[in-house]
A and B are shown apart, each in its own frame.
Chain A
Amino acid sequence: MKYQITSLAFAIAGGLLAAAPAQADEALAKKHNCVACHQIDKKSVGPSYKDIAKKYKGQDVAAKLAEKVKKGGSGVWGPVPMAPNAAVPDADIKTLVEWVLKM
């Protein structure tokens, strides 16, 4: 009985938190300084996340983009290069790339 209540509580909490992951990912983007150059829906120094999602819609590019985030890149969005981010853990990069591509 006790066990059931706990799992019910979990289920409710899970439902309530359904909207949270996007915020968590945005916080992660802030934490790793992505927002210094990128905004969600406006071009700044780098392209907006929505533009990136649009460009790669339907393509299997997650691994390629993760590589770019890690090592930096240039030429796709104009002359301003993407700075390398060697210090960001691979798992975080993966989370962030998936978050961006889903926009």
Chain B
Amino acid sequence: MKRQTRRTLARALGLAALPFALAAAFAQPTQPGRAPVSEPEIRYQAGGSPLAQEEMHQNIDPKAPPMTKAEFDKGRQIYFERCAGCHGVLRKGATGKPLTPDLTMAKGTEILKVFIKYGSPAGMPNWGTSGELNDAEVDLMARYIQQLPPVPPEWGMAQMKSSWKVIIAPDKRPKKKENNYNIENIFSTTLRDTGEVALIDGDTKQIINIVRTGYAVHISRMSASGRYLFVIGRDAKINMIDLWMEKPDNVAEIRVGLEARSVDTSKYKGYEDKLAIAGAYWPPQYTIMNGDTLEPLKIMATRGMTVGDQEYHPEPRVASIVASHFKPEFVVSVKETGKILMVNYKDLENITVTEIGAAKFLHDGGWDSTKRYFMVAANQSNKVAVIDAKEGKLTKLVDVDKIPHPGRGANFVHPKFGPVWATGHLGSEKIALIGTDPVKHKDQAWKVVQYLEGQGGGNLFIKTHPKSKNLWVDTPLNPDAKIAQSIAVYDINNLDKKPLVLPIAEWAGLSEGAKRVVQPEYNKAGDEVWFAVWSAKNQQSALVVVDDKTRKLKAVIKDPRMITPTGHFNVYNTTHDVY
């Protein structure tokens, strides 16, 4: 049964890659006054949700068009595979418009069908004419969204406890490192469609182990000591991997919800390796766990009021989490409410949460070079919020270009403006450099000091290293295959010069397939940059390693087990927030 579910899920999510065929869908003019949704953003948001497979309560509204149970279930599955990313689980709207029954019933089935089939200039994809949904499915979906949104089950302590497994108890684990790997230079590579991570020895470029994890691992994070690796799948499953074992492998696991994106560990002095935290999309909550067993200790809900208009939101998703170095605090960014929660973990029984209002639709972000300021993108608001982790305050909201997507961003010293933090954008080709030194470069602090022209929109990650003079920018979600398969690299000392474009996918020497080059990541020494060349599930993929100094190909890592690599995290750089 479990296996069956996993397979269907994998198939459902595999379909999410199809929107590449949708290019033509977005050629329509945009509507003034309303933020158009870019194609990369659609691709980014419209990926499948694991909730597609969850049984949900069905309320039949007598005023809504009738549906059979089978039709409703099919509608629910399509909704969570195609629609929930933008319109939300409860259809309150985010990137897409709200689709609650009061609004959809007023429009009626016929109008809804037109929108679903043909799309709209405001960004709704043309699911019918693109061939993704047939007329019967379009009709089904038009009726489905007039029903009350079914509510997925909650996931409280009982569910967490029953999903929690300590595979190797702390006292049965190695007392010292039992392998000869240079563990600080291990890379944890997400194998998206197989539900695994590959642990790769950065020195020898050999695979150490393929570890079974949740589906489509979103990120890898390290414990403060650099011993434990935590990964979280889209299905909210966390795996804890002990890098001291002879062959590093899982020692504990838990599911913290039904869909999730973020995990981190306590980094403050005295709390190293003590606690872990994970944030869920559904249910909208975050969970603090024991740092060596993943035992769930405290679950906190994020449901509440939005910033600004102060309206209740029933599903504010946890977008990203980082750990403060200044205080015993986790920094939890909540998407729909636009709030940053500074969660003090000193006393979980009498917990203190400082709520900082920023801007709606928070996404991801990273520390500035001093690790005092947390820079987080509010991506549908086209802003970057600067949070002072020392004072626990919003320092500034910085206007940037369309749909910033920093990953964790990139810190470097600009030859003219001093320390800056950089982000790319999903919705534009620009790279924004924001001044981060309020002491010696006061005039530039918390302002965009320069925009670099990139190859195009659809950027996900941007990277440099304290020892490097290169700034690497990917564009995996760009509709132009040539751009999606190459990387732009800038000379930090000469940013006015055009970037060099490297054909990374070509260097991988793979056969056919819709390849995308994603997530530059440095090795520990800062002299190599790794890229994932992500191809389809049934095609060969690879990792490409580039020499940072010469910008020439250094190695290609291929292995039949390396299926759909979508990114990687170096142990040392992740432990110490080097980016």
Contact of A83 among B110, B120, B122 (CB under 8 A): B110
* A95 close to B (CB within 8 Å): no
Count of chain A residues with a beta carbon within 8 Å of a chain B beta carbon = 15
A44-B122, A72-B110 known; 15 new pairs, CB 8 Å cut-off, are A33-B106, A33-B111, A36-B111, A36-B115, A37-B111, A42-B32, A43-B29, A43-B121, A44-B31, A44-B120, A45-B118, A81-B114, A83-B110, A83-B113, A87-B108
B145 to chain A, nearest CB (A): 14
Cβ of B107 and Cβ of A79 under 8 Å apart? no
B interface vs A, CB < 8 Å?
29, 31-32, 106-108, 110-111, 113-115, 118, 120-122, 129
Interface of A is mostly: loop
Residue from A37, A43, A80, A81 with most neighbouring chain B CB atoms (10 Å): A80
Interface residues of A in 59-81 (CB under 8 A from B): 72, 79-81
Expressed in whole angstroms, the Cα–Cα distance for A72 and B113 within the complex equals: 13
> Using a Cβ cutoff of 8 Å, how many contacts connect chains A and B?
36
* A14 close to B (CB within 8 Å): no
Closest partner residue, chain A, to B121 (CB atom): A44
Cβ of A83 and Cβ of B114 under 8 Å apart? yes
Cβ of B31 and Cβ of A36 under 8 Å apart? no
Q: A33-B108, A36-B107 are in contact. Are A45 and B129 (CB under 8 A)?
A: no
Cβ of B118 and Cβ of A83 under 8 Å apart? no
Expressed in whole angstroms, the Cα–Cα distance for A42 and B111 within the complex equals: 19
B109 to chain A, nearest CB (A): 9
26 A-B pairs within 8 Å (CB atoms) are namely A33-B106, A33-B111, A36-B107, A36-B115, A37-B114, A42-B32, A43-B29, A44-B31, A44-B120, A44-B121, A44-B122, A45-B114, A45-B115, A45-B121, A72-B110, A79-B118, A80-B114, A80-B118, A81-B114, A83-B108, A83-B110, A83-B113, A83-B114, A84-B110, A85-B110, A87-B108
Expressed in whole angstroms, the Cα–Cα distance for A72 and B106 within the complex equals: 18
Closest partner residue, chain A, to B29 (CB atom): A43
A80 to chain B, nearest CB (A): 4
Closest partner residue, chain A, to B32 (CB atom): A42
Closest partner residue, chain B, to A74 (CB atom): B114
Expressed in whole angstroms, the Cα–Cα distance for A84 and B111 within the complex equals: 8
A39 to chain B, nearest CB (A): 8
Q: Which residues of B contact A83 (CB under 8 A)?
A: 108, 110-111, 113-114
Please name the 10 residue pairs, one residue from A and one from B, whose CB atoms are nearest each other, closest first: A83-B110, A80-B118, A83-B111, A83-B114, A45-B120, A36-B111, A33-B107, A84-B110, A44-B121, A36-B107
Q: Which residues of A contact B115 (CB under 8 A)?
A: 36, 45
Q: Which residues of A contact B32 (CB under 8 A)?
A: 42
Expressed in whole angstroms, the Cα–Cα distance for A79 and B24 within the complex equals: 14
Expressed in whole angstroms, the Cα–Cα distance for A85 and B108 within the complex equals: 9
B18 to chain A, nearest CB (A): 21
A73 to chain B, nearest CB (A): 12
